[in-house]
A and B are shown apart, each in its own frame.
Chain A
Amino acid sequence: MAEAALRTEALSRSFGGLAAVSGVSLECRSGSVHAVIGPNGAGKTTLINMLSGDLAPSAGRIELFGEDITGLPPERVSQRGVGRSYQKTNIFLGFSAFENCRLAAQSRLPSSMRFLRRAERYHEVNVAAARALAAAGLGDRGDVRAAALSHGEQRQLEIAMTLATAPRVLLLDEPLAGMGAEESARMVALIRALKERHAVLLVEHDMDAVFAVADVLTVMVNGTVLASGRPAEIRANREVQQAYLGGDDAHG
């Protein structure tokens, strides 16, 4: 089995007296999709925010390929090879799709303190941007202004930008949010393709999609891990059924 790309150990975060996430340990391996599911308020977003560096943990440890990255700011986490896409589409609406990816790829230059040479004249950056666009299925949409893309395409662009930073680990925060059936199917295929080269941690509400694409599932309830395992195991788990999947009284 592949080595653990991203590993957390008893990761916790509390806001005031409220423990949003407490004692979460999980492993995300290269070449697989690790999905984190759970009802609203389970702490999934807090968890992914800690993994991407957007939020500092109160306790616990995060390791990237064995190196401690706990508490690093988001730009450092990104530079170490963790790419994140956001639940709320977070793209530069006035830029073209290509320029969004170009800017993202530019972050891999040793420095962007280059004041006079035109931004478009970095060959390797352009290549990385074009490759990321194509990988996300937007190869022919590069010239379109991001604001003019359909919702589904904007979600793809969100991921393309993340890919342009050449990450080893991908954190995908509800990539299917607000998508129609056809768009969802395309995104599921994309995620499946992405796991070939990345470790993917997926937070998603769409259960059909999650069970279609995940290799490992972690179920969170009230900030803690209720169960973790293969999709079949999770489906058969009574606690999970009661707490979440089939339970008609799901936690709010």
Chain B
Amino acid sequence: MMEAPRALRVLLGLMLIGLLLFPLVGERFYIQYATKIMIMAIFAMSLDLLVGYTGLVSLGHALFYGVAGYALAMAGGDAAPSLWWSLPAAMLVSALVALVVGALVLRTSGIYFIMVTLAFAQMMYFFVRDSEYFGGSDGIYLNSKPSMSIFGWAPLDLGNQLHRYYLTLALAVATYLLLRAVLRSAFGRVLIGIRDNEPRMRSLGFPTFRYKLACFVLAGALAGLAGYLTAVQDGIMNPEQLGWHRSGEALVMVILGGMGTLAGPALGAGALMLLELQFSIWTKYWQLLLGGFIVAVVLFLPGGLGSIFARRRGGGAGHG
């Protein structure tokens, strides 16, 4: 991966400062909404690792997102568990599900990959929706937020919206930095090579299946992080969080922001959700406006919204 262009780096810095200061001026509703945007930004970045950097177009990414949220809800009951073990545990559940699903779906490619990832997510969706144990179509409530107390001292109280906001912001930044490091590593180069020309990578001696699986598991675990935060934020998990609609939404964010740019999909999450909010204030036909906007971006900015700031490609080997 090349260094992000200067303009984009400046923009990201400004956005971070803006997000740090936003709660000083923002009303409660907007702080809540911004938290949800940042959660979706994590989710979209995790999907970009698959779609944008490895060329694996998944339409079932919500499976790993939802599973972690459900893991927290199921572990919770009335007294929610400590974040310190429940967050890693929920991400581990997502990673394990991704390992099993990935081992199967990565044997396919192209349109078949899209279909089988969709199929796995839908299987889980219907299973959870029709199972009383998982709360059926109503979902499960989390009656209390996970505790962050260590030896009696809690840095954050997740019952407080402001604290949830800053926790989510910190984890979104951490996710961005982690993925950026991964993409610059030897592993990341292999992923980009696979995206651009998998047969060539194999003939150079890379066992590509293994790398795709590792990528799938990492993306699944980070989607799990987003799902966990959603459960904490909303206080409820329902089957819709596992459904193809959720997966599709993330895919639109990735495409809107710019595949294979990491920061782009995070921007895409913000753009999509803010426009959704604004358009729905203007008109009840807001989806028409949103659809038109997406079409316009795809037609006139094929590199995504991020490409306004990034004149040059940010993805290394270009799209193959």
B134-157 residues with Cβ-Cβ distance < 8 A to A are: none
Alpha-carbon gap, A114 to B181, bound state (A):
11
Chain A interface, >50% SS class: loop
Q: Which residue of B lies closest to A73 (CB)?
A: B202
B196-215 interface code vs A (CB 8 A; 1 in, 0 out): 11011011111110110010
A74 within 8 A of B: yes
Q: Which residue of A lies closest to B2 (CB)?
A: A94
Q: Residues of A contacting B186 with CB < 8 Å?
A: 106, 109, 112, 114, 117, 119, 122
From B30-38, B39-47, B187-195, B299-307, give the one contacting chain A. B187-195
A86 CA to B204 CA in the complex, in Å? 11
Residue picked from A52, A54, A94, most chain B C-beta under 10 Å: A94
Known: A106-B190, A115-B185, A117-B185. A74 touches B211 (CB 8 A): no
A107 at the interface (CB under 8 A from B): yes
CB of A104 within 8 A of CB of B204, answer yes
Flag if B197 contacts A90 (CB, 8 Å): yes
| Interface 1/0 per residue, B285-320 and A, CB below 8 Å | 000000000000000000000000000010111101
Number of A-B contacts (CB under 8 A): 96
User: Assuming the A-B contacts A95-B317, A112-B211, are A165 and B205 also in contact, with contact meaning beta carbons closer than 8 angstroms in the complex?
Assistant: yes
Complexed CA–CA distance, A75 and B208 (Å): 8
B205–A78 touching, CB < 8 Å: yes
Residues of A within 8 A of B193 (CB): 92, 103
A180 to chain B, nearest CB (A): 25
A116 touches B203 (CB 8 A): no
B203 with A84: CB separation less than 8 A: yes
Residues on the B chain within 8 Å of A109, using CB: 186
Contact of A94 with B207 in the complex, beta carbons under 8 Å: no
Given contacts A95-B317, A107-B206, A112-B190, contact A118 B185 (CB under 8 A): yes
- Return chain A residues, CB-CB under 8 Å to B202: 73-75, 78
Collect the chain A residues with CB atoms within 8 Å of residue B236's CB.
Answer: none
Tell me the A86-114 residues at the B interface (CB within 8 Å): 86, 90-95, 102-104, 106-109, 112-114
Q: How far in angstroms is the closest Cβ of chain A from B181?
A: 5
Is A79 part of the binding interface, using a Cβ–Cβ cutoff of 8 Å?
yes
Residue in A90, A116, A118 whose CB lies within 8 Å of B200: A90
User: B188, B199, B203, B316: which contacts A95 (Cβ < 8 A)?
Assistant: B316
Query: Which size class do A's interface residues fall under?
Result: 35 or more
In the complex, what residue of chain B is closest to A79 when comparing beta carbons?
B205
- Residues from chain A with a CB closer than 8 A to the CB of B197 are 90, 92
Tell me the dominant secondary structure on chain B's binding face. Answer: helix
CB–CB A119/B207 < 8 A = no
A73-B202, A116-B181, A161-B204 given as contacts; is B317 within 8 A of A106 (CB)? no
Q: If A94-B313, A94-B317 touch, does A119 touch B185 (CB 8 Å cutoff)?
A: yes
Of A76, A91, A94, the residue contacting B316 (CB under 8 A) is A94
Query: Is the Cβ of B204 less than 8 Å from the Cβ of A107?
Result: yes
**For the complex, what is the distance from the CA of A119 to the CA of B320, rounded to whole Å?**
21
- CB pair A92–B317 under 8 Å, yes or no, is yes
Partner-B contacts on A (CB < 8 A) = 52-54, 73-76, 78-79, 84, 86, 90-95, 102-104, 106-109, 112-119, 122, 147, 161, 165
- The answer to whether A94 touches B318, judged by C-beta atoms less than 8 angstroms apart, is yes
B97 within 8 Å of A (CB atoms)? no
Please name the 6 residue pairs, one residue from A and one from B, whose CB atoms are nearest each other, closest first: A94-B318, A78-B205, A94-B317, A107-B205, A114-B186, A74-B202
Q: Besides A92-B196, A103-B193, 11 other CB < 8 A contacts?
A: A54-B203, A74-B203, A75-B207, A86-B203, A92-B200, A95-B316, A108-B205, A112-B190, A113-B214, A115-B187, A165-B204
Q: Complex formed: what's the CA distance from A1 to B96 in Å?
A: 55
- 13 A-B residue pairings within 8 Å (CB atoms): A75-B202, A75-B204, A75-B205, A79-B205, A90-B199, A94-B315, A95-B316, A104-B204, A107-B205, A113-B210, A113-B211, A115-B187, A119-B188
Q: Does B182 sit within 8 A of A, measured CB to CB? A: yes
Nearest chain B CB to A71 CB, angstrom units: 15
Cα distance A158–B174 when bound, in Å?
38
Complex: how many Å from CA A102 to CA B204?
11
B203 is contacted by which of A52, A108, A118 (Cβ under 8 Å)? A52
Instruction: State A43–B30 Cα separation when bound (angstroms).
Output: 67
Q: Does B184 count as interface, using CB distance less than 8 angstroms?
A: yes
Nearest residue (CB) in A for B207 is A75
Q: Which residues of A contact B200 (CB under 8 A)?
A: 86, 90-92
Closest residue on chain B to residue A106 by CB atoms: B186
Residues of B within 8 A of A53 (CB): 203
Docked pose: A122 CA to B184 CA in angstroms: 13
Bound Cα distance from A94 to B202, whole angstroms: 19
CA distance A102 to B313 in the complex (A): 20
